[in-house]
Amino acid sequence: MLGRVNHVAIAVPDLAAATAAYRDQLGASVSQPQPLPEHGVTVVFVGLPNAKVELLEPLGEGSPIAAFLTKNPDGGMHHICYEVDDILAARDHLVASGARVLGNGEPKIGAHGKSVLFLHPKDFFGTLIELEQL
């Protein structure tokens, strides 16, 4: 069911500073900031040869990243995203096996313009999992 790792997401308290660190200190190629109000975040993607790193900053009231940063003020790993061939089949298989899909269980459109779902971290050893349709 799982394909390759699409990205690892890191919540950051200051997106501009994090972007500069990846670009200037690590020499990485970084995207322009992209606000995603429906997800409550602004994102920047760091391009790597085999995957991406997604830097997340809170956007708007009630951002899930704001709550994460309250517990982790310096930031930290927020989730890992795996690609799947068929997000609805993956969801149905996971639900049948007892996994919990966050939200209403229906895919939303993510930062790459593709359908995404999130799986409850308590079902995956403390790690929030994002699935992204290929």
Q: Which positions are annotated as active-site residues?
A: 130
98-109: b or e for each residue (b if 16 or more CB lie within 10 Å)? ebebeeeeebee
Name the strand (E) or helix (H) holding 109: strand 108-109
Structure tokens belonging to residue 131:
């699935």
What are the angstrom distances between the C-alpha of 51 and each of 8, 86, 92, 128? Answer: 8, 20, 26, 18
